[in-house]
Amino acid sequence: MQRNDLALNNCGVILTENHEYWLGDKRLTGITGIISRQLFPDKYRAVPEKILKAAAARGTKVHEDLQVYDMFGEINSEEARLYAQLKADSGFEVLDSEYIVTDYADFATPIDKLLRFKDTPIGAVDLGDVKNTAALDKESLSWQLSICKYLFNIVNPDIPVNKFYAIWTRNGVSLHPIDEIPQEEVIELLNCERDGRQYVKKNLLTVNDQKAIEIVKKMSDVLVEIAELEVKRDTFNQQLIEMFERHGVSRWDNDYFTISKVDAYTKETFDGKRFKEEHPELHKEYVKQTEVKPSIRIKLK
């Protein structure tokens, strides 16, 4: 790990063995309970306490094994071995593990991994969270990492957060990009928790959704402009046809352009659909496979 590479600030929060956060003599609230109370209160209600404790213990062991590998290069489990391979294949480095962030007033939490990939902007950092759950809950992770970003930027206001990732240690070890919740909603959630109010979940657009909408809006404006220009083009074409017919000419040639009038004619086309229906076996003999480049299809509402 290269903790000093970005000159990360130490927020001064102490995490005790019984998982309490203390800033001086003030106890702070962790975000796991906030996410459970405010967003997903029924998520584990049907799961027996014994199973939850066993799962938590397994998760803690995996976290420790991955951290030991990041710090010392030691492989103490199959998850650590697969994690080492994932790091090599994905090309990321870990700047710090269990990095604690806070708002210095009410909340604190550790960030599992501060990451940097080859394409991470200089001076920025990516956030990673290790999950050993049976299923990867990306919505919950979006909230968790978005809160982490908010607190990280309070502790380190000069270091931008780039992207979010989940490191999932079930069925192998794999890397998954995670969407960001808008920061104004993160602030509203924390304000609700601070004030003792229940946060009302909305059908939120993630930051990536918002970026896509902006692109589509711009594209929509371009498509409207193209349609308007095509109408003007067709109008000019019709005016030229009428001029040619009025003067009895079929070609206009000068130093700037050449315009030719194409007379109306009957066009022959091959009814491929009908041929396929009536002669399916023969049609197969003439089918040619052509590689089609990826494209975007947008339906405006």
Q: Which DSSP string corresponds to 15-79?
A: E-TTS-EEETTEEEEEHHHHHHHHT-TTTTTTS-HHHHHHHHHHHHHHHHHHHHHHHH----SHH
Residue 200 has pLDDT above 70, yes or no: yes
What lies within 8 Å, CB to CB, of 149 at 6+ separation is 127, 161, 164, 180, 183, 186
Average pLDDT over residues 204-230: 74
Tokens of 162: 């780039």
Per-residue pLDDT at 109: 96
| Cα dihedral 42/43/44/45 (nearest 10) | 10
Q: How many residues does the chain have?
A: 301
Per-residue pLDDT at 295: 76
What percent of the chain is modeled with pLDDT above 90? 54
Mean pLDDT is lowest, of 13-27, 46-60, 147-161, for 46-60
Average pLDDT over residues 17-39: 93
Q: How far apart are the C-alpha atoms of 210 and 232, rounded to whole Å?
A: 33
The owner of tokens 């109370």 is: 37
Mean pLDDT is lowest, of 57-66, 144-153, 282-291, for 282-291
pLDDT tier at 3 (50, 70, 90 boundaries)? very low
Average pLDDT over residues 47-68: 85
Q: Across the chain, what does the average pLDDT equal?
A: 88
Average pLDDT over residues 272-278: 88
Tokens of 273: 């659909």
H/E element holding 239? Answer: helix 207-247
Contact between 186 and 150 under an 8 Å Cβ cutoff? The reply is yes
**What's the DSSP call for residue 217?**
H
Q: Give the pTM.
A: 0.68
Residue 117 has pLDDT above 60, yes or no: yes
Amino acid at position 125, single letter: V
